[in-house]
Amino acid sequence: MTQITEPTTDDVVVEITDEARTVVADALAAEPGAGDLALWLEVRGVEAGRFAYDLFFQASADAGDDDAVYAVEGVTVVVPSGSISRLRNARLEFSAEGGGGLVMVNPNVPSAQEIAPGVPEEVLAQGITGPLAVRAIATLDAEVNPSIAGHGGRADLVAMDEAEGVAYLALSGGCQGCAMSRQTLSNGIEVALRDAIPELTAVVDVTDHAQGSNPFYEG
What's the pLDDT tens digit per position in 62-73? 999 999 999 999
Band the pLDDT of 185: cuts 50, 70, 90: low
SS3 172: strand
Express each pLDDT in 96-123 by its tens digit: 887 889 999 999 988 877 777 778 888 9
- Domain stop point among 59, 77, 110: 110
Domain for residue 187, yes or no? yes
The answer to whether residues 154 and 75 belong to one domain is: no
Q: Are residues 81 and 130 in the same domain?
A: no
Mean pLDDT of 89-101: 90
The range of the structural domain enclosing residue 119 comes to: 114-211
- The residue from 85, 110, 135 where one domain ends is 110
Q: What is the tally of structural domains in the chain?
A: 2
Q: Is residue 7 part of a domain?
A: no
Q: Work out the percent of the chain whose per-residue pLDDT is above 90.
A: 52
Q: Are residues 135 and 102 in the same domain?
A: no
CATH number reported for the structural domain that contains residue 71 in this entry:
2.60.300.12
Collect contacts of 196-200 with beta carbons under 8 A, ≥24 apart: 196/135, 196/136, 196/138, 196/139, 196/143, 197/132, 197/135, 197/136, 197/139, 197/165, 197/167, 199/132, 199/165, 200/132, 200/136, 200/165, 200/166, 200/167
Closest CA to 51 of 104, 119, 98: 104
75 and 39 Cβ atoms separated by less than 8 Å: yes
State the Rg of the chain over Cα.
20
Same-domain check for residues 203 and 118 = yes
Indicate whether 83 and 119 sit together in one domain.
Answer: no
Instruction: Give the residue from 67, 88, 110 where a domain finishes.
Output: 110
Q: Are 167 and 139 in contact (CB under 8 A)?
A: no
Mean pLDDT for all residues in the chain: 82
